[in-house]
Amino acid sequence: MSEIYEIALRYGMNPHQKEAKLKADGPLPLTVVNGEPGFINLLDALNAFQLVRELRQATGLPAAASFKHVSPAGAAVYAPMTPELAKAYFVDGAELSPLATAYARARGADRMSSFGDAAALSDVVDASTAHLLKREVSDLVVAPGYTPEALEILKQKKGGKYLILQIDPEYVPDPIETRTLFGMKLQQERNSAVPDASVFDRIVTENKDLPAGAKRDLLVALITLKYTQSNSICYALDGQTIGIGAGQQSRIHCTRLAGDKADRWYLRQHPAALNMKFREGLARAEQNNAIDLWLEDEVTPVEQAAWESCFEEVPARLTREEKREWLKGLTGVSYGSDAFLPFRDNLDRASRSGVKYVIQAGSSLRDEEVVQAANDYGMVMVYSGVRLFHH
């Protein structure tokens, strides 16, 4: 493969921003296999691939991420799926490889946000993963390689215009990174800290029982947060994210946003959701939107009429009491914060979405109050000692 030092882009962040390109002082570790990249495509791809590469390093498992607008909609490592989860993710009956399963989990974490995503895979893409990508609405894929069969499948997507990127998994960037903003250059040492088992050394709660599955999930949460626009909070369970709150100015708003997403993720596995009878020909994206609207407590008459048109048999809406009863089954959830928790209200809200395990940076003025909140709920809380802001 010949060395490439510059790649022309379709345009910058917006179509009117011309003269867009990707370049480096040395050979680029990135190759455009198919399609034409844009500026935001590469922001998503380069952040997403770092996330899955670090998940692979930290857990030893195939990893995937689904990115939108420079934050992950979902991320996951391989873990078997229950039949109910597979149905909620629209992959029931499919034969999925471990890598394809990781992507199904990453995309299924928040299917509303994953629509038109940038998919990142930690391993060489196989035919199983390519078939899954081909049927979903996705803008690009980035991975360390592709089997010939997988490449043949993916090149058929979007009329042959699907963006396929290949990246060197052994690439080591310069330790100093530079960003130009308003004509001025900012420089810093890049964030090369990869969370590993050492982050669990300082458990500060009375409950110190931290099982292997929780450690995996806390690592998934932390590494996801490292590539999520701050402030950010992540809920994780069974090797995948289930709710991400990104880019909020207030940490409690991150916690609420991520918690609401986690609740919706679990409510989508309710038997009433799994057994909906949609009208023939309704696309998966439209089915997905209909399920999401079904979860709303209040809708306008116009919304209701449009929603009812999606079904052969219109399902009854769950009452607030039915939702609360179902959500009692959401337990053992891991919760990560990209910085310290300033108030106990974060854990008060997190407790309502089944959170049992918490990792945060620590060193808040109200640490004692936050630890007490964790003790009140019987949670296990760890101080990582590392802030993971990302902008």
pLDDT tens digit sequence for 267-279: 999 999 999 999 9
User: What's the pLDDT band for 25 if we cut at 50, 70, 90?
Assistant: confident
Identify whether 131 is a catalytic site residue.
no
Q: How far is CA 260 from the centre of its chain?
A: 15
User: Residue 271 to residues 21, 89, 92, 301, 316: CA-CA distances in angstroms?
Assistant: 49, 14, 14, 25, 12
> Does residue 159 form part of some domain?
yes
pLDDT tens digit sequence for 82-140: 999 999 999 999 999 999 999 999 999 999 999 999 999 999 999 999 999 999 999 99
Identify whether 68 is a catalytic site residue.
yes
The CATH number assigned to the domain holding 192 equals 3.40.140.20
Identify whether 215 is a catalytic site residue.
no
Contact 40, 13 (CB under 8 A): yes
Residues 226 and 341 in one domain: yes
From 167, 196, 219, the end of a domain falls on: 167
Q: At what angle do helices 320-327 and 251-267 cross, to 10 degrees?
A: 90
Q: What is the mean pLDDT of the chain?
A: 96
Instruction: Quote the number of domains for the chain.
Output: 3
Identify whether 69 is a catalytic site residue.
yes
> Does residue 172 form part of some domain?
no
pLDDT tens digit sequence for 301-324: 999 999 999 999 999 999 999 999
Residues 279 and 377 in one domain: no
Q: Residues of the chain with pLDDT > 90: what percent?
A: 96
Residues 156 and 239 in one domain: no
Q: What is the pLDDT of residue 4?
A: 84
> Does residue 14 form part of some domain?
yes
Q: What is the pLDDT of residue 121?
A: 98
Residues 20 and 88 in one domain: yes
> Does residue 173 form part of some domain?
no
Residues 131 and 203 in one domain: no
Contact 361, 231 (CB under 8 A): no
Contact 124, 52 (CB under 8 A): no
Residues 59 and 18 in one domain: yes
Contact 112, 284 (CB under 8 A): no
Q: Which of 41, 47, 231, 346 is catalytic?
A: 231
Could you tell me the pTM of the whole model?
A: 0.96
Residues 145 and 285 in one domain: no
From 111, 144, 167, the end of a domain falls on: 167
Those residues with Cβ within 8 angstroms of residue 15's Cβ, 6 or more apart along the chain or in another chain: none
Residues 249 and 113 in one domain: no
Residues 334 and 230 in one domain: yes
Residues 135 and 43 in one domain: yes
Residues of the domain holding 237 = 181-267+327-383
> Does residue 283 form part of some domain?
yes
> Does residue 375 form part of some domain?
yes
Q: What is the pLDDT of residue 2?
A: 65
Residues 80 and 202 in one domain: no
CA 62/CA 53 separation, integer angstroms? 9
pLDDT tens digit sequence for 277-302: 999 999 999 999 999 999 999 999 99
Q: What is the pLDDT of residue 330?
A: 98
Residues 145 and 223 in one domain: no
